C-alpha cells in the first residue's frame, strides 16, 4: 500500500473523509496491475485526478497518458479521434491520421464521460478491451495496441443500460475495479479544509489578504448541498476573494454567492404517479372517453339486472324510437345525444314470458396507450420482418427509442 499522505501531497488531494481515503487506497492498489477501472461520481468531484494516480504508480508511468473527454467530441468524428482514419475515408480526410489508441500504445487512456460514447463506438472499444485490436476508419487492416483503459462517468451507467444508451457487456468489462468518488456535501469538515486552501491560493494569486468565515458562515457552508461539488466551492471562493472588501465573511454575505440557498436541504417529496400523468390533451381525451364508455356499460348492466328481478320478464318493443334499447344504441353512437326530457311513457314496455336474449356481443376494446404502443410496434416489426431500423422509421421514432420500448414491454423481435 502506498503512503496515503504522499499521494495526497503529490496530486494536491485535500481532505480526510473516509470515503475519499478509500478511493485513493483502491487506486494505489490497482495501479501496478493492468485491470480496467471505472470511476464514478458527480460532476466536479475531481474524478480526473485518480487516473493520473493510477498511471503514475503503474509500470506504464513512462508511457503516454492521454485524457479524452468523450462528451466534447462530435459523434461523427469520435471514431476517427480514438482509432484514427485512412486518407480519403471520409470527406475532409486529406491524409492518414493516428488515433489515441495507436499513439498511447504502451501507456494509459482516460475516457472521461464514457457514457456519452455512441453505441457504434462502444462496439469498437469493447474489441480493444477484449482482444487489444482495432481498425482505423476506412481500413480493413487489424492493428494491435497495448493500452490500459480507465473510464469515468458522472451518470449512473446501469441507468444508461436500462435506457439502451450503453452496452451491458462493455460496462462489465470496464467495471473490473470500480472507484466511487464521494460528493462534497458528504465530506463534512473537508469543506473547511478546501475553502481555506482555495482562499490562501487566491490571496497569493491576487496579492491580497485571505478571506475567512465566521461561525454562522461555516454552518452555512456545511449545510449547502454543493451541486457543483469541489469545482463550485473553488469558483465561489475566488468570487468572494475578488469582490468583497471585508476579509471576514458572514452568513449573509456568503448566502449571496450560493445559488438557490434555502437553508438545510431536506429530501424532496416526489409523487410516484407524476410520470404517469398525461402528456397531451389527446391522451386526456382518450381517458375521458374510456371512463364514459365504462360508465355506459355499467348502466346497461344495472338496467338489465333491474328488469330481470321483476315478477315478469320484459321485452323491448322493436322499432319504437323512444324505447330503452334504441336509447342505448343511440347513446353508444353519440354519448352527447342523450335526451334528458324523454318521457318514461315512451318506453312502452310489454310483459312477456320469455327471457331476454341479448344477441349483440359486447366487446371491450382496450384504450390503454401502452397496449396500443405494443400493438403498433409489433405491426411495424412484423411488416419489416424484425428490422428495427425500418420499423423505427415507420413509427416515426429513433432506433434507440424503439430498442428501449422493446425491452420495456418485453416484445419478442
Selected residue with higher pLDDT from 367 and 245: 245
The whole-number pLDDT of residue 339 equals 44
49-76: pLDDT as tens digits: 999 999 999 999 999 999 999 999 998 8
The whole-number pLDDT of residue 309 equals 67
Instruction: Identify whether the C-beta of residue 176 lies closer than 8 Å to the C-beta of residue 54.
Output: no
The chain-wide mean pLDDT, for the chain, equals 82
Round to whole Å and give the CA distance between 370 and 379: 14
In the beta sheet, which residues pair with residue 208?
none
The whole-number pLDDT of residue 404 equals 80
Instruction: Identify whether the C-beta of residue 181 lies closer than 8 Å to the C-beta of residue 39.
Output: yes
The pairing of beta strand 248-249 with beta strand 177-180: unpaired
Instruction: Identify whether the C-beta of residue 184 lies closer than 8 Å to the C-beta of residue 226.
Output: yes
DSSP notation for 334-398:
-GGG--TT--GGGG--EEESSPP---SPP------HHHHHHHHHHHHHHHTTT-HHHHHHHHTS-
Lowest mean pLDDT among 100-109, 127-136, 382-391: 382-391
284-328: pLDDT as tens digits: 666 677 677 777 777 777 777 777 666 444 444 444 444 455 545
User: Which domains does the chain show, CATH number per domain?
Assistant: 4-182 (3.40.50.300), 186-255 (1.10.8.60), 281-336+345-352 (no CATH), 369-409 (1.10.10)
Residue with cell 475519499: 20
User: Could you give the angle at which helices 18-30 and 49-56 cross, rounded to 10 degrees?
Assistant: 40
pTM exceeds 0.75: no
Round to whole Å and give the CA distance between 97 and 102: 10
219-243: pLDDT as tens digits: 999 999 999 999 999 999 999 999 9
Round to whole Å and give the CA distance between 219 and 256: 15
Q: Which region, left, alpha or beta, applies to residue 95 given φ > 0 means left and ψ of -120 to 50 means alpha?
A: beta
Sign of CA dihedral 151, 155, 161, 163: negative
Which contiguous run of DSSP H or E holds residue 158? helix 157-162
Q: Is the pLDDT of residue 337 over 50?
A: no
- Give phi and psi for 109, each to the nearest 5: -115, 130
Which set of grid coordinates corresponds to residue 22? Answer: 478509500
The whole-number pLDDT of residue 365 equals 55
Q: Is the pLDDT of residue 356 over 50?
A: no
Q: How many CB atoms within 10 Å of residue 177?
A: 17
The whole-number pLDDT of residue 413 equals 64
Q: Which of 413, 400, 410 is nearest to 161 (CA)?
A: 400
Amino acid at each position: 500500500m502506498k503512503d496515503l499522505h504522499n499521494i495526497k501531497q503529490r496530486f494536491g488531494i485535500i481532505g480526510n473523509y473516509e470515503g475519499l481515503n478509500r478511493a485513493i487506497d483502491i487506486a494505489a492498489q490497482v495501479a501496478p496491475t493492468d485491470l480496467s477501472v471505472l470511476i464514478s461520481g458527480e460532476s466536479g468531484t475531481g474524478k480526473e485526478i485518480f487516473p493520473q494516480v493510477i498511471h503514475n504508480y503503474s509500470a506504464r508511468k513512462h508511457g503516454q497518458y492521454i485524457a479524452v473527454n468523450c462528451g466534447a467530441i462530435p459523434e461523427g468524428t469520435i471514431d476517427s479521434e480514438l482509432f484514427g482514419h485512412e486518407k480519403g475515408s471520409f470527406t475532409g480526410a486529406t491524409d492518414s491520421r493516428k488515433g489515441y489508441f495507436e499513439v498511447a500504445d504502451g501507456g494509459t487512456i482516460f475516457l472521461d464521460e464514457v457514457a456519452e460514447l455512441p453505441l457504434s463506438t462502444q462496439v469498437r472499444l469493447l474489441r480493444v478491451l477484449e482482444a487489444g485490436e482495432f481498425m482505423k476508419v476506412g481500413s480493413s487492416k487489424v492493428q494491435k495496441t497495448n493500452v490500459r483503459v480507465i473510464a469515468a462517468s458522472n451518470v449512473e451507467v446501469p441507468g444508461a443500460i436500462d435506457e439502451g444508451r450503453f452496452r451491458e457487456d462493455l460496462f462489465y468489462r470496464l467495471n473490473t475495479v470500480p472507484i466511487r468518488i464521494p460528493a462534497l456535501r458528504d465530506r463534512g469538515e473537508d469543506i473547511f479544509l478546501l475553502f481555506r486552501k482555495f482562499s490562501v491560493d487566491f490571496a497569493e494569486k491576487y496579492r491580497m489578504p485571505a478571506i475567512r468565515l465566521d461561525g454562522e458562515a461555516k454552518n452555512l457552508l456545511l449545510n449547502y448541498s454543493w451541486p457543483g461539488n469541489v469545482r463550485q466551492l473553488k469558483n465561489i471562493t475566488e468570487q468572494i476573494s475578488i469582490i468583497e472588501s471585508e476579509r471576514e465573511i458572514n452568513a449573509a454575505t456568503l448566502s449571496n454567492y450560493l445559488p438557490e440557498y434555502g437553508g438545510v436541504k431536506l429530501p424532496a417529496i416526489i409523487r410516484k404517479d407524476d410520470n404517469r400523468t398525461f402528456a397531451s390533451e389527446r391522451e386526456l381525451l382518450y381517458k375521458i372517453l374510456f371512463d364514459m364508455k365504462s360508465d355506459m356499460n355499467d348502466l346497461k348492466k344495472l338496467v338489465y339486472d333491474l328488469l330481470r328481478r321483476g315478477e315478469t320478464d320484459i321485452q323491448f318493443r322493436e322499432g319504437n324510437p323512444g324505447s330503452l334499447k334504441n336509447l342505448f344504441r343511440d347513446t353508444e353512437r353519440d354519448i352527447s345525444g342523450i335526451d334528458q326530457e324523454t318521457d318514461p311513457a315512451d318506453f312502452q314496455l310489454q310483459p312477456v314470458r320469455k327471457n331476454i336474449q341479448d344477441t349483440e356481443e359486447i366487446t371491450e376494446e382496450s384504450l390503454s396507450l401502452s397496449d396500443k404502443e405494443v400493438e403498433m410496434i409489433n405491426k411495424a416489426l412484423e411488416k419489416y420482418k424484425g428490422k428495427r431500423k425500418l420499423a423505427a422509421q415507420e413509427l416515426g421514432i429513433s432506433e434507440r427509442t424503439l430498442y428501449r420500448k422493446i425491452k420495456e414491454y418485453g416484445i419478442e423481435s
